[in-house]
C-alpha cells in the first residue's frame, strides 16, 4: 500500500443540513503518508485477525511503527445495528500522525455494510463529546479510508468504490461530523484508470441525485421510528394532532415519493423540520435507518441547542436505558414506562418543547 505520495484527483464540495461545507476527496497514492496529523485512518480486517500483510493498510501502518493489533487492546467495539455481519472499533487517542485508527471487521462482502463505518464514526464523536462544551460543528477535520475488503478480502473494486462514495457523500450531507473525507485508491492497482473514470462519473451522479430543496414552510416535526412499532407511533401522532390540530409532521410512509431514493427524501424531510421526534422503542437501535436519523438529529441539536432540535421519547418496555448506544443515553428525553401510557400527557410534553413557528 505504501507509495511515493498522495494526491487528490477529484473533490466534491457539498453542504450539510446546517449549511456547513463538507469535502469528499478521491485520492491516489500512499494512504499512510500524512504531512500533518490526520484525525482518523480506517482499515479493514478479517474478524479478530489484524495480521499485517504486504498488500494491506495494516501492513503499511506497521512499517510506520503503528501496530493495529496492539491498538486493539485498549479499544472498544461500537454498538451498531449490523453487529452480526459488520462491526467496528476505534482506538484510543495517540500522538502519532494518525490520532486514531478505526478497524472495520466484516464477514462476507464489505460493500453492503460500509455504511456501518460512517455510523461508527458518528457514534464515536457523539458518545465522546461533553454536551456542556461549546458547540463545534466539525469535531473531526479529516478522515481517511481505503476501499475496504478489496485487497486480501478479494472484494470487487468497482462495487466498493461506488458504495463508499455514495455512503460517504450522503452521510456528509446528513450530519457526519467530519469536514473532509478522503477515499484513497492504491496507485499500484491494475484497475486504477477504470476506477478514476468511475469515480469522476460517480461524483457527477451523486451531485444530481443527492440534493434537496429548502421549504418555505418547514414541518413542525420529523418523526423517526421503527416500522415494527407503527401502531403505537400512529396513536402518539394522533394524540399530538388532537392537542394541536394544525401540527405538520414528516412521516416517511406518507411523504416519500414512489420510486425515490429513500435516504435522500428522509434527509430532506429532516432538514426541513423544526424539530425531530425520535421515538426510541426496544428495537429502534437495531435499525440502521433509525440510527442514521438519530445521529443526524443529535448532530444538528449540538449546533442548535436552544430551543432543542432533538426531542427523544424513550418508549421502552423490555429494554433498559443502559443497553442503548452511548449517544442515545447521553440525551435527556421523555421517559415512557409500560405498554399503554397516557398518550395525551406525552403529546403535551413534546409540544411544550417544540420551538415556536
pLDDT averaged over consecutive 10-residue blocks of the chain (357 residues)? 75 84 94 92 93 91 93 87 86 91 89 92 83 59 94 87 93 91 93 93 81 79 92 92 94 58 76 93 92 91 79 92 90 80 90 87
* Model confidence pLDDT, tens digit, residues 9-57: 999 998 887 778 999 999 999 999 988 899 999 999 998 899 998 889 9
Which structural domains are found in the chain, ordered by start?
6-209 (3.40.220.10), 221-353 (3.40.50.10140)
DSSP string, 118-132: HHHHHHHHHHHS-TT
10 and 26 in contact (C-beta within 8 Å)? Answer: yes
Q: Any idea of the CA torsion for 232, 233, 235, 239, to the nearest 10 degrees?
A: 140
294 and 328 in contact (C-beta within 8 Å)? Answer: yes
Instruction: Select from 75, 166, 153 the least CA-distant residue to 118.
Output: 166
Predicted pLDDT of residue 1: 47
The separation between CA 69 and the C-alpha centre of its own chain, rounded to angstroms, equals 25
DSSP string, 255-318: HPPTT--HHHHHHHHHHTBS-EEEEE-TTGGG-HHHHHHHHHHHHHHHH-TTTTSEEEEEEESS
* Model confidence pLDDT, tens digit, residues 136-157: 556 799 999 999 988 877 889 9
What interhelical angle do 288-303 and 157-174 show, nearest 10? 40
DSSP state of 194: H
Which residues make Cβ contacts (< 8 Å) with residue 196, sequence separation at least 6? 9, 10, 26, 28, 185
CA 301, CA 66: separation in Å to the nearest integer? 36
- The pTM (predicted TM-score) of the whole model is 0.91
H helices then E strands: how many in the chain? 11, 13
Predicted pLDDT of residue 35: 85
Predicted pLDDT of residue 76: 85
Predicted pLDDT of residue 158: 94
Instruction: Select from 137, 123, 17 the least CA-distant residue to 80.
Output: 123
Predicted pLDDT of residue 339: 64
Predicted pLDDT of residue 4: 58
The separation between CA 352 and the C-alpha centre of its own chain, rounded to angstroms, equals 29
Amino acid at each position: 500500500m505504501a507509495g511515493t505520495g498522495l494526491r487528490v484527483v477529484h473533490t466534491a464540495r457539498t453542504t450539510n443540513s446546517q449549511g456547513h461545507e463538507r469535502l469528499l476527496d478521491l485520492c491516489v497514492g500512499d494512504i499512510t503518508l500524512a504531512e500533518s496529523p490526520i484525525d482518523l485512518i480506517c482499515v479493514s480486517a478479517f474478524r479478530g485477525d489484524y495480521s499485517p500483510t504486504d498488500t494491506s493498510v495494516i501492513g503499511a501502518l506497521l512499517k510506520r511503527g503503528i501496530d493495529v493489533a496492539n491498538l486493539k487492546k485498549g479499544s472498544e467495539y461500537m454498538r451498531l445495528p449490523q453487529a452480526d455481519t459488520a462491526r467496528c472499533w476505534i482506538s484510543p487517542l495517540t500522538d502519532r500522525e494518525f490520532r486514531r485508527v478505526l478497524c472495520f471487521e466484516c464477514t462476507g462482502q464489505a460493500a453492503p455494510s460500509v455504511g456501518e463505518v460512517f455510523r461508527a464514526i458518528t457514534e464515536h464523536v457523539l458518545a465522546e463529546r461533553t454536551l456542556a462544551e461549546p458547540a463545534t460543528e466539525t469535531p473531526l477535520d479529516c478522515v481517511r479510508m481505503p476501499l475496504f475488503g478489496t485487497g486480501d478480502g478479494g472484494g470487487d473494486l468497482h462495487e466498493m468504490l461506488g458504495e463508499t462514495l455514495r455512503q460517504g457523500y450522503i452521510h456528509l450531507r446528513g450530519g457526519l461530523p467530519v469536514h473532509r473525507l478522503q477515499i484513497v485508491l492504491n496507485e499500484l492497482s491494475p484497475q486504477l484508470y477504470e476506477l478514476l473514470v468511475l469515480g469522476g462519473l460517480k461524483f457527477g451522479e451523486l451531485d444530481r441525485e443527492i440534493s434537496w430543496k429548502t421549504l418555505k414552510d418547514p414541518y413542525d416535526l420529523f418523526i423517526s421510528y421503527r416500522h415494527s412499532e407503527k401502531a403505537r407511533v400512529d396513536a402518539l401522532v394522533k394524540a399530538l394532532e388532537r392537542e394541536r390540530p394544525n401540527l405538520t409532521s414528516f412521516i416517511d410512509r406518507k411523504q416519500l415519493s414512489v420510486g425515490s431514493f429513500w435516504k435522500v427524501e428522509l434527509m430532506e424531510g429532516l432538514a426541513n423540520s423544526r424539530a425531530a421526534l425520535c421515538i426510541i422503542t426496544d428495537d429502534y437501535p437495531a435499525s440502521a435507518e433509525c440510527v442514521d436519523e438519530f445521529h443526524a438529529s443529535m448532530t444538528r441539536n449540538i449546533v442548535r441547542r436552544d430551543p432543542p432540535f432533538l426531542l427523544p421519547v424513550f418508549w421502552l418496555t423490555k429494554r433498559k436505558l443502559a443497553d442503548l448506544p452511548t449517544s442515545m443515553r447521553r440525551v435527556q428525553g421523555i421517559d415512557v414506562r409500560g405498554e399503554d401510557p397516557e398518550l395525551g400527557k406525552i403529546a403535551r410534553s413534546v409540544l411544550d418543547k417544540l420551538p415556536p413557528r
